Structure 1
Amino acid sequence: MDAIDTKGTAARGVAWAEFEQEAPELAARVRARFERTLHHVLATLRADGAPRVSGTEVQFYGRHLTIGSMPGAVKARDLQRDGRFALHANPGEVTREGAEEAMGDGDAKVAGTAVEVTDPGELEAFREVGVPPGPFHLF
């Protein structure tokens, strides 16, 4: 999948479906880690280029990994301006005593370039997975 970055040049990205096809076992493990807990950590770039970290939820919709946001949230504005991101899966509740057990099945991070979904039909179809009523951003 090719996307156009903010400078108008082609940026190579790999859709989640391609990742599943190329590395099915790894993709399944990474997906399981993201589905294990609700909240994760998203890193975006501020307008001045500094990093910003935000809590976020992700969902797998069809064969896509999606990031949603309330309308006008700073993380959404960051992604609209510059789609580069890094996403770290929440390892769950971890104490120092239980860290080895909690992380026994590994850690998961994903980085890439987010592309906003703006088609009204696609946004409405996404509501099937339980998006709260009202406007939202979807990447």
Structure 2
Amino acid sequence: MIGSTTSCVRIIVAMTKEGPKIHMAFWKMARAHNITDNFCMGESGNLLAWVNKNTGSIERIVSGLWPNGTEVPRHPDTQQELLGKNLPDWQQATSMCLSAAVHFPGLKLQHWDIAFCRQGPVLMELNTEADLGVPQFLGRTPFLDATIKELLVNT
């Protein structure tokens, strides 16, 4: 869908009393001229896409953040229409994150990067800190909800 670049979906996992829970997800889409999917607030030319955490459906794509970012319906390198598409193996990817998350119970917020490869999803890395403004802008939803409030109270 986006060419031969390696790009990861960031899945944010909250470690609740009931166990790990997917909180938010977004796709960091690399462009053909970049070797990483780093967004750098849009300066890299890479894109971000909001991903429905339950279905893996792409719901919004931006080329940058406010005030200069614009929404784009397709990938500029491949011209592939991406809005409404579902990421392959989404349930496998989220299950993988939730299974891995239990091995780090002290990290109440986990930011997993997953690459979607021909062989299936691959866990690339676990980030312990991240810019929380990016998913809020992209998803048009506050990061702080009942789940995160509970984490703050019980930490």
TM-score > 0.5, shorter chain as reference: no
Q: TM-score, normalised by structure 2?
A: 0.28
Q: TM-score, normalised by structure 1?
A: 0.30
More helix by share: 1
